[in-house]
């Protein structure tokens, strides 16, 4: 495997891990699962604070809702596959951003 491929896979895995950690941490603190409904609170500081959180937690929320919908609502395979691709790409981008931030801070070399 080429180094670029390994780097992309690492970014993808880090993105999903970060999303899962954020969503699980929110669930522990708020005693309810995180969701995109956090944006429907109106123009409040709480809503603006939810945006950066949702940017990084979105891959986990998308996959959780998709897998739950596939099991309960019997969603079609095509819908599940498209949501998985979107979630994977989103995770790749957020993982890449997170790793670039760590490199810029001097944590990673």
* Residues 18-48 as b or e (16 or more Cβ within 10 Å = b): bbbebbeebeeeeeeebeeebeeeeeeeeee
Please say whether the beta carbons of 65 and 34 come within 8 A.
Answer: no
Total domains in the chain come to 1
109 assigned to some structural domain:
no
Q: What is the pLDDT of residues 13-59, one digit of tens each?
A: 999 999 999 999 999 999 999 998 888 877 778 888 889 999 999 99
Q: Is the pLDDT score of 3 beyond 80?
A: yes
Which residues 6+ apart lie within 8 Å of 98 measured at CB?
14, 15, 18, 56
Classify residue 30: in a domain, yes or no: yes
Residue at 51 is within a domain? yes
- pTM of the predicted model over 0.85: yes
> What per-residue confidence (pLDDT) applies to 26?
94
Domain holding 9, by residue range, is: 3-104
Give the integer Cα–Cα distance in Å for 109 and 24: 29
* Residue 63 within any structural domain of the chain: yes
pLDDT per position as a tens digit, 53-83: 999 999 999 999 999 888 888 888 899 999 9
């Amino acid at each position: 495997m080429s180094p670029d491929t390994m780097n992309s896979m690492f970014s993808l895995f880090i993105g999903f891990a970060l999303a899962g950690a954020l969503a699980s941490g929110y669930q522990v603190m708020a005693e309810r699962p995180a969701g995109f409904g956090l944006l429907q609170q109106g123009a409040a500081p709480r809503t603006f604070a939810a945006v950066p959180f949702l940017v990084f937690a979105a891959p986990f929320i998308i996959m959780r809702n998709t897998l739950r919908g596939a099991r309960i609502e019997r969603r079609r395979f095509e819908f599940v596959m498209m949501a998985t691709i979107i979630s994977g790409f989103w995770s790749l981008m957020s993982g890449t951003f997170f790793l670039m931030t760590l490199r810029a801070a001097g944590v990673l070399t």
